[in-house]
A and B are shown apart, each in its own frame.
Chain A
């Protein structure tokens, strides 16, 4: 029914959703590491470390999957984004490198308070820069300011003006808020200590309100910052019921956090994130990099797309049980010490 490129685009969107729900939570862990406060600051940091350590590297691979699919299936779009958004992507890479390395260095460096705290700071700040820059990139791609000649591949850009505007940064902070919310909600269930749980409940509420706030700001800015997205969000047949659904789930999620129904929140918040990203995906369709590049006019030929989809199917068959096992081992009920011995 759809062309193969739409299937690939769907796989990329699903990968992005999973990356937000898993890798995004890891970045959110970094945010709450920076804002660890009060007399339980150390316990908060330790909890975050325990939660991340065994899984962050596997979660990180989703980003690589997205980028590889982008350049394999939509090479001109990849080249265009790499050219026009060189600066935010480079900043994001710095964030990725420092986040990952600071996290392991902190585990294996000498365990004096000052060294530990210094690596914590690097880890936390990098965890904040990375999702902001990821969001800025996605916002700029949606903004309709990156013009490219489809025939020649020539990108008309000054390398700055397509991303250094309010709308991409609104999306950047929107992404950051989502990461914070997801992480805090997960962390409420990573501990049996009611006081720690309460700490992360507070943080989940802050995250939820920030998400709401940034969603509103982004929507307002989209009128000027991303008109085609705004049209997609506002005028389609599906859009109004979809917004109502997203809004309802978001409010129910806040209620669940408020009423300490953490298991319920643990289900509702991911649904909220899925709906937000799907809504954006649908609004952007059929543009990959608006206004010139659509999924169809940048797609590689079917001889390329078919083997990639076959690899995806094989990947699902292998990876679903592997991931299930990873999470079952480390995210199950009883959770003794997961920090390696020094």
Chain B
């Protein structure tokens, strides 16, 4: 590939930089059904997007569209065709022809001029801002293509997005360094030590197989016991039953083994002593968090690891399947009343929030954002393009990020910008854990900048900043504000 590159390709690409053209026009106005579908997929609970009466009483004065949907409305969806008159379409065509056939989004910098409302008809213009030199990236050899889309309703701009994609040649990624490749221990969970099941503890492991976390409970007096006992120490009964735990708990203590290392674990291992809300404790693992996230007392919620698969067609374990309870940082409830700027300080931490990545979320998110690029819904095509599975599209990531920050800031925080950089892909069956902190606060104007990241098992999927206006500063509008225009 490197040898076949002639420098004139870069020159030909660069010829389009600085050109602009009309991009897309929405066929339908901003509408509540699409907003509701989006909120369903993203699990966005802010009522100003869906509940007319709440929205009417809010600072927005009526239903508004989630700001992260800004660049969804004008997308052509499944009918997308590349427009060769558009400078971006032209360079993409050139790059495809030169073998750089794979595409990933790497940056999105969304600026919100005003919130969109049902009835707005959006169209966009595109300016090609930059095409990079050929670069060797982890994914492969390619070029970064940077465009700015400006969104308009009628003649009035309502927002813009700076959008950067990497067009790369599949199969040209950087080989892992020698150390990375030489894994001495196999971390597959099936290699973990199996629990031994006997008549005293069978209720627990039977429950685990159906993803029920069972706590032994005396049928006589209701006393809970862990580890189990054949006889209730409280009332003396031998009639021992169980209750299914809610799955809510806190981190009572933890240990982080580094050595010795054995198969089945990814070191260092986060081992938790979890205190369940029912009162008993158990040892488990913390997943979807990093070592530095662990704090005694942090809220946790149950999830499951099907560690030892059943024997099927000669593969698996003849002793039967095993599932292990695991815990991740508990998603905190959405804030009902919006934060005041006076409540904030630099460095103020946002709560951790784990987001399970399911195929449903990946596919649903892509389709909800009118993104029919095959690698977001078709695993065969994704694999053919050099990916291990389908992966989340950037618009879903933006929606999840908006939800995370707004769940913390409150329903009437007003968004100004959402700038993200994408890294490791979000593949199904992983968990992305969001974390964040207040990077800066402008108290007079009420403007807060939040730095956030979403990490999965491969590293940082997303990092970036969000800027919002909070009540208590001069930039926050008087309510209600049917125009939606914030005061600058």
Partners in one complex: no
A-binding residues in B (CB < 8 A): none
B-binding residues in A (CB < 8 A): none
